[in-house]
Structure 1
Amino acid sequence: MAEEPSAVDVDGAPIAIGSNVRYIKTDTIGEITDIKTDDEGTWALLDTTQLYYRVDTLQITEKKANAGKEYTISEEDIKERIKKQAELAQTGTLEEVFQATGGG
C-alpha cells in the first residue's frame, strides 16, 4: 500500500485525503481525493473540479461543496457581501460606473 505524501495548507495545517479545502485564488471549495508529489511540489486533487492544485494554494475550511459542486453560503456571509457592495456603491461616482468609450 502506497503511503500518502505529507502535506500542509497555506497556513501550515496538515491536509489529507478527505480534507475540505478552499482554493484561495478563486474560493473553489472541494474535498481532496488524491495527493501526489513531483519535482514541482505537492498537489491535491479536488473532487469538485477534478483538477490538481498545489497544496500551498489551498486552505482548510469547514465549508463543504454540495451535490451541485458549489458551496453553501451562510446568511451572515450574504449580509456581509451585500454590505460591502453597498459601501463600494456609495464611494463610487457615476463617471466611474459609466465610462464613455468608443468613437463615433
Structure 2
Amino acid sequence: MNEEPSAVDANDAPISIGSNVRYINTDTIGEIIEIKTDDEGTWALLDTTQLYYRVETLQITDRKASAGKKYTISEEDVKERIKQQAEEVQTSTLEEVFQATGGG
C-alpha cells in the first residue's frame, strides 16, 4: 500500500496531494502532485515547476496557477495594488523622481 505521508505547511495547516500552495521564497504557485519523505524531511512536488519543495516552505493558498505558470489575481487584489501604487506616486517628490547625478 502506497500511503501518502502526513504533511503541514509553514502555518501548520495540513497539506495533501491536490492542495494549492505558494512557495514563500519566490511566490511560486502550484498544485501538489506528490508528497514524499526522506532523511532530509518531507517534500512536495509542484505541478507548475516539476520541482520538490520542503513542505515547511509552502503555504496553502486559494490562488490557482494558470496556463503560463502564473496565478490568477482577483479583482480586489488588482484594485489594492493600483491603490498602493497611486499612494506611492503621491508621496514621492519631484526631486526623488528627477534626481540625477552628472559627471564632468
Q: Scaled by the length of structure 1, what TM-score is found?
A: 0.84
Structure 1 distance, partners of 2:36, 2:98, is 48
Q: 1:36 to 1:97 in 2, by over 3 A?
A: farther
Structure 1 distance, partners of 2:102, 2:55, is 44
| Equivalent residue number for residue 12 of structure 2 | 12
CA-based RMSD? 1.9
Amino acid at match of 1:92: S
| Equivalent residue number for residue 38 of structure 1 | 38
Q: 1:32 to 1:93 in 2, by over 3 A?
A: same
Cα-to-partner distance string for 1:9-38 (whole Å, 9 max, x where unaligned): 111110011111111222211100111222
Q: 1:95 to 1:46 in 2, by over 3 A?
A: farther
Q: Which has the larger radius of gyration?
A: 2
Q: 1:102 to 1:35 in 2, by over 3 A?
A: farther
Which structure 2 segments of 5+ residues have no match?
none
Q: 1:3 to 1:90 in 2, by over 3 A?
A: same
Which structure 1 segments of 5+ residues have no match?
none
Q: 1:6 to 1:98 in 2, by over 3 A?
A: farther
Residue 94 of structure 1, CA deviation: 3.8
Residue 99 of structure 1, CA deviation: 4.9
Structure 2 distance, partners of 1:38, 1:99, is 53
Structure 2 distance, partners of 1:57, 1:102, is 45
